[in-house]
Amino acid sequence: MGDRTAEENSFQCTSQGDEHLIGLDEFLQRLNTTAEGLSSEEALRRKELCGPNLLEKRKKESLLKKYLKQYGNFFALLLLFGSVLSFAAEYLDPGQGNIFIAIALLGVVILNATFTFIQEYQAQKIMESFQNLMPPTARVKRDGEIVELPASELVVGDIVYLEEGDKIPADGRLIVQNTLKVDNSPITGEAEPQLRSLECTHEDMLECRNMVFSSTLVQTGNGEAVIFSTGSDTQIGKLSLLTEETASVDTPIRRELNHFVKIISSIAIFLGIAFFIIGFFIQDTVLASLIFAIGIIVANVPEGLLPTVTLALSLASRRMAKRNALIKQLESVETLGSTTVICTDKTGTLTQNKMAVHTVYTGSGYMDAASGQEPPEILLRVAVVCNNARLSEEPPGYRGDPTEGSLLVYAERFRDIRKMQEGYPRLAEYPFDSRVKRMQVICKTPEGNMDSYLKGAPEVLLEMCDRIMADGNESELTGPKKRQLEEEYLKMAKRGERVLAYAFRKAGEVKEYKEHFIFLGFSGALDPARPEAREAINRCYRAGIKVVMITGDHPVTARSIASLVGLTNEDGDPVMITGTELELMPTEELSHKLKSRSIIFARTSPLQKLKIVRAFQAAGEIVTMTGDGVNDAPAIKNADMGVAMGSGTDVARESADMVLLDDNFATIVNAVEEGRTVFDNIKKFIAYILTSNVPEILPFIAFVLLGLPLPMNVQLILAIDLGTDILPAIALAVEKGEGDIMDRPPRSSKEKLLTPQVLLTSYGLKGPIEAVAGFACYFAVMYGGGWSWGQQLAFSDPLYRQAITAFFAAVIVCQIANVFASRTRRQSVFAKGMFSNRLVLLGIASELLILAFIVLHPFANTIFNTAPISMEYVLLAVPFALLLFTADELRKYLIRHGSASVRDVLGW
């Protein structure tokens, strides 16, 4: 074959998409190969032309470039600008403490950038898990001999040998198969392994049984396949590229924080520039105006916000881990709280993934599978021999199709099924097919005769039977009796059981029989719904969250589970959409159906799952998507919140934002509750930290407009933002949710962290009270020390240092009252219990310790330009603190009992 001309060797490296449809001769001719395979020389030429059988990775940005990008946001640029100004002020007037300000601001920027970089770096690992799916070696026919080669050496046109337990190395078309059964779930999501065929059975390549696909597993049998796609051209390769090309979606909390930072930064820049100009014209000194600009910027920007948010999300993720939800991306904690749609798997998430025989019905009546009553031996024989599953030592006790596996586990209670299989060896198998809905095997009996054993859909088998066996006796299967049997299996199906019927007949030759069977009975297998699933779905409905089941399974199976777990619309049945219907459905019709409360998507492909997620997002929904297979990875990554099963594939777990350690739908709902609480709490500590901005900004305005000695310096502002406010803010972040948190609708995508109501509460109510307290203590010290209006004091003057210390102490005292007031948004603090959050008490203790250190310690006095003061000046702030607390309690009372307009103005 290596002597062929270039023209003869012409072929395409990429699949044309119709390899399953064309005749085998045409297929082999297109690939320029034969059933004897390729020569080594030809294989080498093809590898050089098409590349190795590997999943390619796109070139990634360098780590340095990724890290430097973190310094390009508004927040970082503003703080860097403040740091540069501080360095300039230190250069113009050394020894005034500006060097400490410059270093502190620079440290905040570096800390925030490093946090963000670490989170983004984790996303680069997603594609590595795809490489692990490629098998290391494959058995290939080269130069007329079977050799074992690295899977990366495979090329288009190679003949590969497949046996039980093999991971298929590339996409191929079968040319030989012997009861070959393949688990396609990594590609299609189909739960049941499917028997292969040499014939084209479906127009869709993924559904066609003459195809095998890279990364799928051979369950039973053996065969040979001609490779027609390798590397990134395989179905798994396309999924790999699709996942890589799918852009990760910004989390709602990230979008909100960006919005918050832009507003605060804009205010800071505007005030900084405006008052720099005003200060220059009033005081005619560049240095004084420069100090003022630095102060305005530092006072407006809550430097501790991002570290506090990060710590708050980290604490929430730890709480969720204790509830079996492992968060990979910290910001995703809050995304769960804004979820409006949950797209969930069926098997293992809504069910226990423990398929077991629940009911047996024979001509003699019902048998409870749990009772230990032994069914007829002939029925057990059909269930065991007409079966392609195998028993296993590992849970759930079998390998293969769950329904067939459950039959073996059930039969093993009464018979040695291995001896039964050996005693009735197969001579032929006519596999289950979605069109014929039955499986038939011809077996040799110990007496040397042949039997035909049949199992399948009840309505199909009943049409093939004309006799029935009851208590070991045969009788005619009449029309009325058939109708009675139909009623019985419908009762079983309505209980959510997967019903199979069993029949047999004598066989005179090896062929497929279609009539004159003897009916033996039904079995009903049940994958029990998780007992907590129904209540979890009800909680979703109460919380205004739409629940959508997306599965690769049959619609009937999906619908039965939906009824068990309460997945219903107002009129009962959920909306059912199959993958085929979805493909043909106009966008307008899909958009209309997506408005239903409960929806089931059955027989879906990976691209269709991604299409569903994007359709919901286009409608303005916040989507949480669950999955466990490789085929789920693109949709998981594209969803606002990707959730993988702990028992799922590495690819799914790498692509997800959260991993369910117990694969339980109820855990998702618990996580949603936690996410809602997180958003509430972030708003609480934002309102808390913004309050201190007012007493931080007003001293600089008074410094410029009134000519006062600066009432508070930049060092003390940083001490508040990066010191005293941090632990109380974190304490607010771990507050338990208010009682109605899962009875509210999901928060609107338009709801912001920073609202006019938040600004009114912080800047219009509590902040001014803190500022008045600060000025009261400041003037008490100044006038008590003999100062007169208009008199200028040097920064090193002991009286000035005591006055700014008093101002700082007053702000801290009022912030203690503020942290208590901020524990609730609408309820009275007394309804929660003043001391129920011990971390709040620890936060207050930390504030007092920092205050004592800055006021009393000589080293701190040097850094912050402070001086010890009498306790009476600190106590002077207490009435203002009580006023602040009372004013906020009054605000909450008016929200609870006032008119709608009052709630709109005061509520946040």
| Gap between the terminal Cα atoms of the chain | 77
Q: Are strands 575-578 and 171-183 parallel, antiparallel or unpaired?
A: unpaired
The count of other CB atoms within 10 Å of the CB of residue 631 is 29
Read out DSSP for 659-726?
Answer: EETT--HHHHHHHHHHHHHHHHHHHHHHHHHHHTHHHHHHHHHHHHHT----SS-HHHHHHIIIIITH
Token pair of 705 as six digits: 């407009």
Token pair of 31 as six digits: 């690939």
In whole angstroms, what separates CA 275 from the centre of its chain?
47
For 428, residues 6+ apart whose C-beta sits below 8 A from its C-beta are 441, 442, 510, 511
Q: Is 879 exposed, middle or buried (0-12, 13-18, 19+ CB in 10 A)?
A: exposed
Q: Are strands 546-550 and 598-602 parallel, antiparallel or unpaired?
A: parallel
Sign of CA dihedral 715, 716, 717, 718: positive
Token pair of 314 as six digits: 């980290």
Token pair of 576 as six digits: 């059912």
**How far apart are the C-alpha atoms of 908 and 887, rounded to whole Å?**
16
The CA-CA-CA angle for residues 451, 456, 461, to 5°, reads 75
Sign of CA dihedral 53, 54, 57, 63: negative
Q: Which amino acid is at 209?
A: R
**How far apart are the C-alpha atoms of 725 and 753, rounded to whole Å?**
18
Query: Among the residues of 476-577, which ranges form H helices?
Result: 479-494, 533-542, 555-564
Q: Tokens 């033996």 belong to which residue? A: 520
Half-sphere exposure of 32 (CA within 13 A, CB side): 20
Q: What is the CA radius of gyration of the chain?
A: 36
> In three state form, how does the secondary structure of 15-66 look?
CCCCCCCCCHHHHHHHHCCCCCCECHHHHHHHHHHHCCCCCCCCCCCCHHHH
Q: Is 62 exposed, middle or buried (0-12, 13-18, 19+ CB in 10 A)?
A: exposed
For 173, residues 6+ apart whose C-beta sits below 8 A from its C-beta are 19, 20, 24, 27, 210, 211, 212, 225, 226, 228
- 8 Å CB contact between 525 and 407: yes
Q: Which residues pair with 469 in a beta bridge?
A: 474
H/E segment holding residue 624 = strand 623-627
Q: Which of 158, 345, 527, 657 is catalytic?
A: 345
> In three state form, how does the secondary structure of 147-202 look?
EEEEHHHCCCCCEEEEECCCECCCEEEEEEEEEEEEECHHHHCCCCCEECCCCCCC
Residue 401 among the catalytic residues: no
**How far apart are the C-alpha atoms of 290 and 91, rounded to whole Å?**
12
Q: Which amino acid is at 223?
A: G
Q: Which amino acid is at 719?
A: A
Q: Tokens 């920092």 belong to which residue? A: 850
Whether cis (ω within 30° of 0) applies to the bond prior to 879 is no
Task: Point out the residues that are catalytic.
Answer: 345
